[in-house]
Amino acid sequence: MIGRRRPPAPAPNPWEEEGRRLAPQLAGLSSAVVIGLDAESSARVALGAARAVASERRVAVADLVGAPLVLGTLGDAAGAPGIIDSFLRGVSLNDVAQPAADGTPSLFILPRGSEPTLPEEMLHSDRWSRLAAGFAEAGALLLIVARAETPALDALVRQTDGVVSVGDADIPMDWRVIAQAGERVPAAPPPAIRRQRAPSRVSRWMRVSITGVLLVAAGVALWWQNPRSSGGPERAPTPVGAPQPAARAVAPAADTVRVPDPVNPLDSAAAAQFAVELVATNTTASANLWIRERGIQLAGLTVSPVVLGADGSRWHRVIAGAWRDRAGADSLLAALRDEDVLRAGAGAVVRVPLALLLETDVPRTAAAERVSAMAVRGVAAYALLQDDGSVRLYTGAFETAAAAVPLDAALRAAGFTPQVAYRTGRTF
């Protein structure tokens, strides 16, 4: 009829949009736990990511939080058996999985079921590992929505590829954080600088470096790293500063702060994510003093400034190494403790898959010169060797893209154009 208008389309849910934004970071993965303090926002992040990924492969969203307004409605089968029934009573997952009621192809919902509480023994079950392996074999993705601070959640997380953190959920440092949805405010800053006596001898993991000592003396963060293979034609280094990646607004300190997405999301599964955190200090001078007292430089040594705590305090994490597998980081940590560089119980293996990418396609023979040139400009760069024999220069090592914001801002103020990226390659 004349004068009648079609009702406006509903506005997109911001949490679902967050899920769509971070979906590329799930490429190459088969399982992830979406963790938040609020059940609905966590479910919507998982749903947004699932809908984006479902255009390319099958996705199942498992509800461990009980989100009837989001996943329950989409499952569209009130009273149907859920994933808890599958784990505890042997109900087949084929009977639990429900095609998305909104018609999204390749998207399935695994509802929680009628159980009022989540049994702790279910999270300890090694069936999660088998389930994740099955999804990997099929090229599919399993997203598990869970509530932060759930007892025994660690047992579940360690059987998957990692976590997607939603909002200000407190995520343990030894969990792999695949992506961060929304603003995250860590619960507490790291401990103040831990002073230890100088080592009596230098282990085979360490390298004396005049350049590194000079960098520390100048108040610049140190690092030097090892790559993956040699050979390949030499090419001119390519500065990283071309078109910037899409960014999203967050507010760690002010509404104007923006956190860019990693420029290479498809490399997330191959990232050199493991490193050793040697110490965390509250000033750059303390971090540099800690390194200078030892008079040595480790492969991949870096000082990463991060803003932690509700008061926005800045801390400086001294981090060394870059490995795809945890074994290398565990070996380095054990060696440092054996050599008395770290006291017993000090230090920790951390997951820091992200860094700020400075240059690509640097010839291996020119890597040391380029690192020194960066040092002259006040930037402590480190090199990682790529599979094709070229080198990439990075600075910093971070758990999330948001953690890289302080260093990113400082570099841009100095005229650089860094890009948040997954660390790839190895030290050399």
pLDDT recorded at residue 248: 32
Residues 303-332: tens digit of each pLDDT: 888 876 555 667 888 899 999 999 999 999
Q: Is the pLDDT of residue 139 over 80?
A: yes
What mean pLDDT do residues 225-230 have? 30
Strands 247-249 and 258-260: antiparallel
Report residue 318 CA to chain centroid gap. Answer: 18
Strand-pair partners of 179: 164
pLDDT recorded at residue 232: 36
Structural contact between residues 390 and 374, judged by C-beta atoms closer than 8 angstroms: no
Residues 380-423: tens digit of each pLDDT: 788 999 988 999 999 999 998 888 988 898 899 889 999 999 99
Return the sign of the alpha-carbon dihedral for residues 101, 102, 105, 111. Answer: negative
Count of other CB atoms within 10 angstroms of residue 189: 17
Structural contact between residues 172 and 154, judged by C-beta atoms closer than 8 angstroms: yes
Mean pLDDT (the chain) is 76
Return the sign of the alpha-carbon dihedral for residues 129, 135, 141, 147. Answer: negative
Q: How far apart are CA 301 and CA 284, in angstroms?
A: 14
Q: How far apart are CA 76 and CA 99, in angstroms?
A: 9
Domains of the chain, residue spans: 14-181, 206-422
- Which residue from 271, 364, 277 is spatially nearest to 323, judged by alpha carbons? 271
Strand-pair partners of 304: 317
Strand-pair partners of 35: 146, 165
211: which 2 tokens? 């350049």
Residues 76-90: tens digit of each pLDDT: 455 677 888 888 887
Structural contact between residues 209 and 224, judged by C-beta atoms closer than 8 angstroms: yes
Confidence of residue 168 (pLDDT cuts 50, 70, 90): confident
Q: Is the pLDDT of residue 333 over 90?
A: yes
Residues 269-312: tens digit of each pLDDT: 889 999 999 988 877 777 777 777 776 678 888 888 887 655 56
Q: How far apart are CA 184 and CA 250, in angstroms?
A: 9
**Amino acid identity of 79?**
G
391: which 2 tokens? 């080198």
pLDDT recorded at residue 102: 77
Q: Is the pLDDT of residue 156 over 60?
A: yes
Count of other CB atoms within 10 angstroms of residue 12: 10
Confidence of residue 10 (pLDDT cuts 50, 70, 90): low
Q: How far apart are CA 349 and CA 290, in angstroms?
A: 18
- Most confident range, picked from 108-112, 219-223, 279-283: 108-112
- Which residue from 240, 232, 238, 214 is spatially nearest to 365, judged by alpha carbons? 232
Which pTM does this prediction carry?
Answer: 0.46
Residues in CB range of 135: below 8 A, 6 or more apart: 30, 31, 60, 141, 142
Structural contact between residues 82 and 54, judged by C-beta atoms closer than 8 angstroms: no
- Given this structure, which CATH class describes domain 14-181? alpha beta
Q: How many CA atoms lie within 13 A of 304 on its CB side?
A: 34
**What is the three-class DSSP state of 287?**
helix
Return the sign of the alpha-carbon dihedral for residues 400, 404, 406, 408. Answer: negative
